[in-house]
């Protein structure tokens, strides 16, 4: 008994009985050695025992691979001070009211959630899906607690498509300060009014600490940020979104050219161009010889594609170089001249974006803020979505990202 009591690691209890039930689970009946509780009405301490509630069974950490339950009849005390002499059930620090598990087991569940979905854990631990969600709800916040935040510094506004075909966006709002990322909200849609309403709800004391807003390339976000934080706030368009746009132009040209070559080239030759989509997207420095050969073959048939490819890589190089904002502005202007002279039309859309959003795009070079974190989340959420439908809910998403930020990396 003494050893088991030590192993249980639950404070202020005495074991009354240990038994196996018909399923072979271990049931440990315990009694609290604390003879007092605080009145729920007046908060004064009372030691006048009124009786015991019905027994509750709390799932605890397994012993020798067997499911283990702690059985306890919570004590009830009567207050002698309050009118009507109300009774209060004793609260103990090792389990939370209405939870079917001990806190030690709940922490175990949170750890089990690393690299797993809620369904995975529910199956492995043989507990209900709802029980796992209950643990998440009790331990992980579903809303930001402003009181815990001292300053915001950089606000990130990024969107994630919850459904294929880029419908049904949610907006992930984060604060990034010296490497710490805090999730502030998951917004239900990406309307400017929704984003603005949330940003306006930030307490005044924290609004003053916002220096930069790092955003997707969407006028609604940029305008909402400026209207809430003032015209002077530095808005940065994330380089990943900039890259997506010019790489998209290259992708469109590739599709057209491959379709053209399919009709013009012999089947054998066309086959040799298999997989060029990935090769064009791959970092040029990471290409192996064989891959470079395929690209060279492609460029021989499509000189236009080679020009577009090189232009895109040049721009990536500019974003990779350690230069100031004004140097970047000069380089990007030169690049625009080259792109216009090339006569390519696939970059027209991107060039006009550069024209209107140059300032926000080169602001990246001030402190190199990026949403790499949210880009990573995007992939994790894709995995979760394939396996667990419960996640498609803004509150759950907030909690999962919160868990992720706390080191419970459960999306991959
Ligand atoms: Zn009382």
Residue with more model confidence, 390 or 61: 61
378 band by pLDDT with thresholds 50, 70 and 90: low
Question: In angstroms, rounded to a whole number, what is the distance separating the alpha carbons of residues 192 and 213?
Answer: 15
More confident residue, 197 or 378: 197
In the beta sheet, which residues pair with residue 169? 161
302 CA to middle of ligand 1, Å?
85
Q: Residue 302 above 60 pLDDT?
A: yes
Residue 264 Cα, ligand 1 centroid: separation in angstroms?
Answer: 90
Cα(55) to ligand 1 centroid in Å equals 25
C-alpha 42 to ligand 1 mean position (Å): 4
Going by the DSSP 8-state scheme, the letter that residue 133 receives in this structure is H
- What is the total count of domains within the chain? 3
Q: What is the mean pLDDT of residues 289-316?
A: 93
d(CA 158, CA 173): 7
Task: Tell me: pLDDT of 114 over 60.
Answer: yes
Residue 304's domain spans which residues?
Answer: 240-367
Same domain, 334 and 386: no
My answer on whether 326 and 249 are in the same domain is yes
The pLDDT assigned to 412 comes to: 36
Burial class of residue 313 in the structure, from the number of CB atoms within 10 Å of its CB (0-12 exposed, 13-18 middle, 19+ buried): middle
Are residues 261 and 332 both part of a single domain? Answer: yes
How far does the centroid of ligand 1 lie from the alpha carbon of residue 48, in Å?
A: 12
Cα 81 to ligand 1 centroid, rounded to whole Å: 5
Beta-carbon contacts of 270 under 8 Å, excluding residues fewer than 6 positions away, are 261, 262
Pair 313, 361 in one domain? yes
For ligand 1, the distance from its centroid to the CA atom of residue 286, given in whole angstroms, is 72
Q: In the predicted model, is pLDDT for residue 164 greater than 90?
A: no
6 and 60 in a single domain? The answer is yes
pLDDT of residue 10: 92
Q: What's the pLDDT score for residue 399?
A: 73
Q: Which long-range contacts (CB under 8 A, 24 or more apart) does 276-283 make?
A: 277/251, 280/250, 280/251, 280/254, 280/309, 281/247
Question: Separation of 79 CA from ligand 1 center, angstroms?
Answer: 5
- Please tell me which residue, 264 or 373, carries the higher pLDDT value: 264
With respect to residue 133, please indicate whether it lies within any of the assigned structural domains: no
For residues 77 and 86, give the distance between their C-alpha atoms in angstroms, rounded to a whole number. Answer: 8
Going from the Cα of 50 to the center of ligand 1, the distance in angstroms, rounded, reads 14
Could you tell me which residue, 350 or 112, shows the higher pLDDT?
350
Task: Return the sign of the alpha-carbon dihedral for residues 241, 244, 249, 250.
Answer: positive
pLDDT at residue 411, as a whole number: 44
pLDDT tens for residues 312-337? Answer: 999 999 999 999 999 999 999 999 99
Hey, what are 333's tokens? 């202007």
* CA 41 – ligand 1 centroid, Å: 5
263 plus 206 within the same structural domain: no
Task: Tell me if 209 is assigned to some domain.
Answer: yes
Indicate the range of 71-80, 206-215, 315-324, 371-380 predicted with least confidence. Answer: 371-380
Q: Which of 17-21, 147-151, 185-189 is predicted with the least confidence, judged by mean pLDDT?
A: 185-189
**Residue 43: its H or E element:** none
Runs of H (alpha helix) within 201-283: 204-207, 219-229, 239-264, 267-271, 276-281
In 44-66, which positions are buried (b, 16+ CB within 10 angstroms) versus exposed (e)? eebeeebeeeeeeebbbbeeeee
pLDDT of 390 above 60: no
Is 187 inside any structural domain? Answer: yes
Residues 378 and 351 in one domain: no
Candidate ranges 85-89, 131-135, 164-168; pick with highest mean pLDDT: 85-89
Q: Provide Rg for the chain, Cα atoms.
A: 30
- Reported as a pLDDT band with limits 50, 70 and 90, residue 296 is very high
| Separation of CA 40 and ligand 1 centre (Å) | 7
Are 256 and 352 found together in one domain?
Answer: yes
Give me ligand 1 centre to Cα 281, in Å: 70
Go through 149-178 and write b for each residue having 16 or more CB atoms within 10 A of its CB, e for each that does not: beebebbbbbbbebeeeeeebbbbbbbbee
How many Å lie between the centroid of ligand 1 and the Cα of residue 90? Answer: 13
The answer to which of 69-73, 154-158, 212-216, 370-374 has the lowest mean pLDDT is 370-374
Is-contact 312 283, C-beta < 8 A?
no
Kindly state the tokens that stand for 97: 């009211």
Give dist(CA 365, CA 331) in Å, integer: 12
Distance 80 CA to ligand 1 centre (A): 7
Higher pLDDT, 295 or 411: 295
In the predicted model, is pLDDT for residue 72 greater than 60?
Answer: yes
Range scoring the smallest mean pLDDT among 211-220, 290-299, 365-374, 400-409: 400-409
Domain boundary pick from 95, 112, 130: 95
Is residue 412 in some structural domain? no
The pLDDT of residue 3:
85
Tell me the DSSP string of 296-331: HHHHHH-HHHHHHHHHHHHHHHHHHS---HHHHHHH
How far is the centre of ligand 1, averaged over its atoms, from the C-alpha of 87 (Å)?
Answer: 8
88 Cα–ligand 1 center, Å: 9
Domain-located, residue 121:
no
Please give the distance, rounded to the nearest whole angstrom, from the Cα atom of residue 283 to the centre of ligand 1.
70
Q: What is the pLDDT of residues 1-12, one digit of tens each?
A: 788 888 888 999
Same domain, 288 and 196: no
> Among the three residues 62, 95, 128, which one is the final residue of a domain in this structure?
95
- 37 CA distance to ligand 1 middle (Å): 10
pLDDT of residue 256: 93
pLDDT of residue 181: 78
Distance in Å, CA 33 to ligand 1 centroid: 22
Q: Answer whether residue 338 is part of any domain.
A: yes
Question: What average pLDDT score do residues 387-400 get?
Answer: 61
Q: How far is the CA of 92 from the centre of ligand 1 (A)?
A: 18
CA–centroid distance, residue 47 to ligand 1 (Å) = 12
Domain shared by 232 and 247, yes or no: no
Asked if 74 and 36 sit in the same domain, the reply is yes
Q: Give 228's pLDDT tier (boundaries 50, 70, 90).
A: very high
Q: What CATH code is carried by the domain that includes residue 202? A: 3.30.420.10
Question: Which of 136-145, 341-350, 382-391 is the least confident region?
Answer: 382-391
Ligand 1 geometric centre to CA of 89 (Å): 12
**Helix 103-112 with 129-139: angle, nearest 10 deg:** 100
Whether 39 and 86 map to the same domain: the answer is yes
Q: Is residue 344 part of a domain?
A: yes
State the DSSP code for 282: S
What is residue 239's predicted lDDT score, i.e. its pLDDT? Answer: 86
Residue 49 CA to ligand 1 centre (angstroms): 14
Asked whether residue 80 is assigned to any structural domain, the reply reads: yes
pLDDT of residue 389: 45
Ligand 1 centre to CA of 84 (Å) is: 9
| Percentage of the residues of the chain whose pLDDT score is greater than 90 | 52
């Amino acid at each position: 008994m003494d050893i088991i009591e030590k192993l249980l690691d639950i404070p202020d209890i005495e074991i009354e009985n240990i038994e196996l039930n018909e399923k072979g689970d271990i049931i440990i009946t315990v009694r609290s050695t604390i003879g007092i509780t605080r009145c729920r009405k007046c908060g004064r301490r009372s030691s006048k025992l009124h009786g015991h509630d019905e027994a509750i069974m709390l799932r605890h950490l397994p012993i020798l691979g067997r499911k283990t339950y702690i059985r306890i009849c919570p004590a009830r005390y009567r207050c002698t001070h309050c009118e009507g002499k109300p009774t209060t059930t004793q609260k103990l620090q090792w389990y939370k009211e209405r939870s079917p598990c001990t806190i030690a087991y709940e922490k175990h569940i949170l750890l089990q959630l690393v690299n797993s979905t809620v369904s995975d854990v529910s199956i492995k631990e043989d507990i209900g899906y709802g029980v796992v969600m209950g643990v998440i709800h009790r331990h992980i916040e579903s809303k930001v607690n402003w009181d815990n935040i001292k300053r915001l510094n950089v606000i990130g506004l990024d969107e994630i498509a919850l459904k294929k075909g880029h419908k049904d966006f949610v907006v992930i709002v984060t604060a990034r300060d010296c490497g710490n990322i805090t999730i502030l909200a998951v917004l239900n849609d990406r309307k400017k009014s929704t984003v603005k309403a949330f940003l306006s709800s930030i307490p005044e004391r924290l609004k003053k600490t916002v220096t930069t807003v790092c955003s997707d390339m969407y006028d609604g976000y940029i305008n909402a940020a400026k209207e809430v934080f003032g015209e002077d706030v530095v808005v940065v368009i994330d380089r990943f979104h900039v890259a997506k746009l010019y790489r998209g132009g290259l992708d469109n040209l590739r599709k057209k050219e491959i379709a053209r070559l399919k009709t013009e080239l012999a089947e054998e030759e066309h086959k040799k161009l298999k997989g060029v989509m990935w090769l064009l997207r791959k970092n040029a420095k990471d290409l192996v010889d064989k891959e470079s050969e395929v690209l060279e073959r492609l460029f021989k048939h499509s000189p236009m594609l080679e020009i577009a490819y090189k232009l895109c890589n040049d721009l990536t190089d500019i974003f990779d170089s350690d230069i100031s904002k004004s140097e970047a502005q000069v380089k990007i202007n030169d690049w625009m001249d080259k792109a216009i002279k090339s006569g390519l039309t696939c970059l027209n859309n991107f060039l006009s974006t550069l024209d209107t959003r140059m300032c926000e795009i080169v602001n990246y070079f001030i402190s190199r803020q990026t949403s790499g974190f949210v880009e990573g989340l995007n992939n994790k959420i894709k995995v979760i979505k394939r396996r667990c439908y419960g996640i498609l809910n803004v509150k759950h998403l907030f909690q999962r990202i919160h868990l992720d930020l706390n080191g419970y990396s459960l999306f991959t």
